[in-house]
Amino acid sequence: MADTSAQTGADTGADTGAGGADGADAVREQAVEAALAKLDLDTKTRLLAGQDMWSLPALPEIGLRSLVMSDGPIGVRGVRWTADDPSVALPSPTALAAAWDPALARRAGRLLAQEARRKGVHVLLAPTVNLHRTPLGGRHFEAYSEDPYLTGALGTGYVQGVQDGGVGTTVKHFVGNDAETDRFTVDNRIAPRPLRELYLAPFEAIVKNAHPWGIMTAYNQVNGTTMTEHRYLVNEVLRGEWGFDGANVSDWMAARSTTGDIEGGLDVAMPGPQTVYGPALAAAVRAGEVEEQAVDAAVRNVLRLAARVGALDDAPPVVADAAALERIDGDALAREIARRGFVLVRNENGALPLAAGTSVALSGAAARDARVLGGGSAQVFPDHTVSPLDGLTAALPDGLLTFSVGADPSDELAPADQGFTLRAVCRDAAGAILGEGSLPNGQVQWIGDDLPAGVTHDTLASIEVTGTFTPRESGEHSFGTRGLGAYTLTVDGRTLFDGVQAMGPETDPFEAFFGSPVERGRVALTAGETVEVSLRHTLDKEFAAPLPAVMFSFVHLGPRRDPDELIAEAVEAARAADTAVVVVATTERVESEGFDRKDLALPGRQDDLVRAVAAANPNTVVVVNAGSPVEMPWRDEVAAILLTWFPGQEGGAALADVLTGAEEPGGRLPTTWPVALADVPVTEVTPTDGELDYAEGVFIGYRAWDRAGAVPAYAFGHGLGYTTWSYDSLVVGPDAATVRLTNTGGRTGREVVQIYLAPVADGVERPARWLAGFASVEAAAGESVEVTVELPRRAFEIWDEAAGGWTFVSGGYEVLAAHSLADARLTARLDV
């Protein structure tokens, strides 16, 4: 029964990259060269620019099909931003990371490859392997960890999995896109040592261990050079030192200089057709500003990518028969990853799992309307989601579950969703209908050619979001708009607004997508009674959007109830039940691409709700539905806390599995969880005069907490299961640590054995401890298992800034075999 198939980062199985012992690589290279030789300058430069939002042009003359790319880390959206073609939505990257299991990441990758193939996508725009430099980073939920080794190990598994399925990846965002404020322009000042030891390290591990077929260069600058033009980091480090031979794709609209980009090693400028490549690049070659050889090198990289994914005739794809691969059940995998990533950070008096027959009072708006994924380009549209209420309703016997809202994390209007059935009617300037599109919710998001059939940007003059609304609750419902331009808003025959939302001082071109909703009026409605709704948006052709796009939302908010009354209702229900489960959450206005967080507080009255419920019921379990850390000022007042991240489409089912004890929560924190923002060592995300100084050097995450001598709420690596473990022995050598441990609890469980190195004083400034390796073991109650964790040479090295290279630091180390950073079980001395 013992499962010691330890996964230690680099060791996740066969690689699917450059290898090619069968000579297939050589055949692909020949095909690439033959194809390249047939292309003229204009065609070559055309191939290096997006033909639209998501794809490169096909070149039938060389047997090249159009290469299609799509976001992103937790699912494959496909080339349309609609629910017409739904996608499996896996848990957020922080959740996947919390499972500390590269083999699970690899399975996630394989599923995403299957999804990509189904949708005609060749290249997945993922994974995000920037670091959790600070929990204020808006895309924190979309990256794995504050630790570069863990990030690299998970990214390796993920990329291998996607490529196992014959689909490419673009490991992103190379490099230093660790926050969102002024992301297009910020100059991140990062000294060589932290750049190498922290920010580049995951990319290096992934390039060396998984041989990714693509990389995405970031918007930001590093040390004065914008990343799409960074010759040193791209040509010398990524390609030269590490041997990357894939395609370098710009982040969307990051390419800003024809000569700078091509000389900086950028192969593909996305999106198109208006970019700095294409005709502009051909002209630069003709003007003698760019060597044609540089264009050829980029084309070669693109053709190699095409060959690998099977989009170039006469080149054998890396995966010969991807269609024949065993089909993966996406729903089941989403559920498995969710519970494997749930982190039980507190469990007093065996509050969890719930005993059979326990009655449960569930509260929190997110228990009913779960937040399954984070905001921005990582969004996909699953065909269903299982909320905590759905999951518990299915799992508990009738009569044992009650639900009350208790508190709502948002008092803002949000894209019309529950109870709305909407479609978009597109008209030309004369009012004639051009076409119609279905809408998953009130958000219209048509970028580039992603328009309903029959509609073009030239002919489109107005879009009417129209349909019906059947409220769940009686009372005054608020309606409004989000986005710039002219609107007419009608509900149940009443015109609530007929006017223009003018452009403000916003800078991010995606403001209409990420911006603030505006309330336009309220209408009293009755639960269950359907009314007609319509929002007509007339396009302002004067307003020059950065690319052809239609982005606006029809927003809504249900009746505002007295917050104290809502809490009182939940308290009453909690008092009457054996156990109270409160689901607290962030919103897409808190955690999203496009902006950073301002604080770590739970929005709205959620803290008050938890406190009031906990005061009424000693068995209060709090479920935290957030992609990254939040303050939990009540954490010592409740019986249990389960972090569920953004748990993906099956989150509620996985939650029921874990609460009832059918499954163990498997997660360990991939990031330090602070008590309060004030304690967090690194919080600066706002540049000064355009520069953001990574002044903390190599001290981020637990490295910084250790240095400050500060104690977080929950340490890196922390997480409880439903069994207990004794660590019996630790034997170390220079290359590996072997740990023997016993499951001392009453049920089968899984333990993540974490190995940290702590240098004994050596005069070199280094963190007090760092993660050197890890492995999972599974054992039945009473069973002992042994696991060997490799200690990579890099774990003992630092980047020597003076010499410009890695230096092995000899001397004494304490090797810690730990349940978490704060819970070392065994220590051994190692001299290297």
State the pairing for strand pair 360-363/401-404: parallel
Of 71 and 390, the one with the shorter C-beta distance to ligand BGC is 71
CA distance 588 to 38: 49
d(CA 400, CA 355) in angstroms, rounded, equals 12
> What minimum distance in Å lies between the beta carbon of 372 and ligand BGC?
19
Which of 187, 251, 657, 778 binds ligand BGC (CB under 6 A)? It is 251
- Residue 588 Cβ vs ligand BGC, minimum distance, rounded to whole Å: 15
Per-residue tokens: 804:
């410009």
Nearer to ligand BGC, 174 or 725 (CB): 174
Q: Residue 461 corresponds to which tokens in the numbers above?
A: 């003059």
Least Å from the CB of residue 523 to ligand BGC: 36
CB of 138 to ligand BGC, least distance (A): 11
CA atoms in the 13 A half-sphere facing the CB of 123 = 29
Shortest distance (Å) from residue 97 CB to ligand BGC = 17
Residue 355: DSSP 8-state: P
Q: How far is the CB of 718 from ligand BGC (least distance, A)?
A: 29
Least Å from the CB of residue 423 to ligand BGC = 24
Residues 609, 632: contact at Cβ < 8 Å? no
Rounded to whole angstroms, what are the CA distances from 104 to 319, 341, 598, 824? 20, 10, 33, 25
- State the minimum distance, in angstroms, from the CB of residue 465 to ligand BGC: 23
Cα gap 662→489, rounded to integer Å: 48
Contacts (Cβ under 8 Å, ≥6 apart) of 127: 73, 93, 144, 154, 155, 158, 159, 169, 171, 172
Three-point CA angle 363, 366, 370, nearest 5°: 135
Structure tokens at 474: 């009686």
Single-letter amino acid code for the residue at 118:
R
Q: What is d(CA 43, CA 414) in angstroms, rounded to the nearest whole number?
A: 45
Task: Tell whether residue 571 is a contact of ligand BGC (CB under 6 A).
Answer: no
Q: Name the residue nearer to ligand BGC (CB basis): 17 or 72.
A: 72
Considering the complex, state which of residue 218 and residue 817 has its C-beta at the smaller distance from ligand BGC. Answer: 218
Minimum CB distance to ligand BGC smaller for 250 or for 579: 250
Mark whether 251 is an active-site residue: yes
CB of 760 to ligand BGC, least distance (A): 42
Binding track over 15-54 against ligand BGC, x by CB under 6 A = ----------------------------------------
DSSP per-residue codes, 525-576: E-TT--EEEEEEEE--TTS--SSSEEEEEEEEE-PPPPHHHHHHHHHHHHHH
> Least distance to ligand BGC from the beta carbon of 381, Å?
15
Q: What is the identity of the amino acid at 321? A: D
The catalytic position among 25, 251, 261, 408 is: 251
**C-alpha Rg value of the chain to the nearest Å:** 27
Selected binder of ligand BGC within 6, 10, 12, 71 (CB under 6 A): 71
Q: Report CA-CA distances (Å) from 470 to 419, 422, 438.
A: 5, 12, 18
Look at the block and give the residue holding tokens 């690439």: 32
Q: What stretch of H or E contains 162?
A: helix 148-164
The single residue listed with the structure tokens 């010969």 is 320
Place of tokens 């995300």: 685
Of 97 and 249, nearer to ligand BGC (C-beta) is 249
Query: What number of chain residues touch ligand BGC (CB under 6 A)?
Result: 7
Site for ligand BGC in 110-149 (CB under 6 A): 125
Distance, in Å, from the CA atom of 78 to the CA atom of 422, rounded to the nearest integer, reads: 21
Binding mask of the shown chain, residues 748 to 777, with x at each position contacting ligand BGC by CB under 6 A? ------------------------------
Comparing CB distances to ligand BGC, the nearer of 72 and 202 is 72
In the complex, minimum distance from the CB of residue 512 to ligand BGC, in angstroms, rounded to a whole number: 14
Site string for ligand BGC, 360-389 (x = CB under 6 A): -----------------x------------
741 CB neighbour count, 10 Å cutoff: 24
The residues near 388 (Cβ < 8 Å, ≥ 6 apart) are 362, 366, 367, 368, 370, 581, 583, 623, 625, 651, 652, 655, 656
Between 35 and 512, name the residue whose CB sits nearer to ligand BGC.
512
CB of 137 to ligand BGC, least distance (A): 13
Among 72, 109, 272, 687, binds ligand BGC (CB under 6 A): 72
CB of 273 to ligand BGC, least distance (A): 16
**Rounded CA separation 185/227 (Å):** 10
Indicate the residue among 270 and 338 with the shorter CB distance to ligand BGC: 270
Pairing of strands 221-222, 549-557: unpaired
Single-letter amino acid, residue 410: S
Amino acid at 743: N
Residue 76 vs 570, nearer CB to ligand BGC: 76
Outline where 231-291 has alpha helix (H): 231, 258-263, 279-286
CA 127-818-4 angle, 5° bins: 70
Order the strands of the 171-174 sheet from edge to edge.
171-174, 214-217, 247-250
Provide the 3-class DSSP secondary structure of residue 47: helix
Q: Which is nearer to ligand BGC, 12 or 170 (CB)?
A: 170
The single residue among 172, 211, 368, 668 that binds ligand BGC, judged by CB under 6 A, is 172
Residue 581: name the closest of 336, 409, 352 by CA. 352
Using DSSP's 3-state secondary structure scheme, residue 223 falls into: coil
Which is nearest to 477 in space by CA: 517, 432, 520? 520
Question: Of the two residues 253 and 731, which places its CB atom closer to ligand BGC in the complex?
Answer: 253
Residue selected from 252, 497, 513, 714 as contacting ligand BGC according to rule CB under 6 A: 252
| Three-state helix/strand/coil letters over 616-661 | HCCCEEEEEECCCCCCCCCCCCCCEEEECCCCCCCHHHHHHHHHCC
Cα torsion 341, 346, 350, 356: sign: negative
- The residue (of 65 and 77) whose beta carbon lies closer to ligand BGC is 77
Query: Binding residues for ligand BGC, per CB under 6 A?
Result: 71-72, 125, 172, 251-252, 377
Which residues are identified as catalytic? Answer: 251
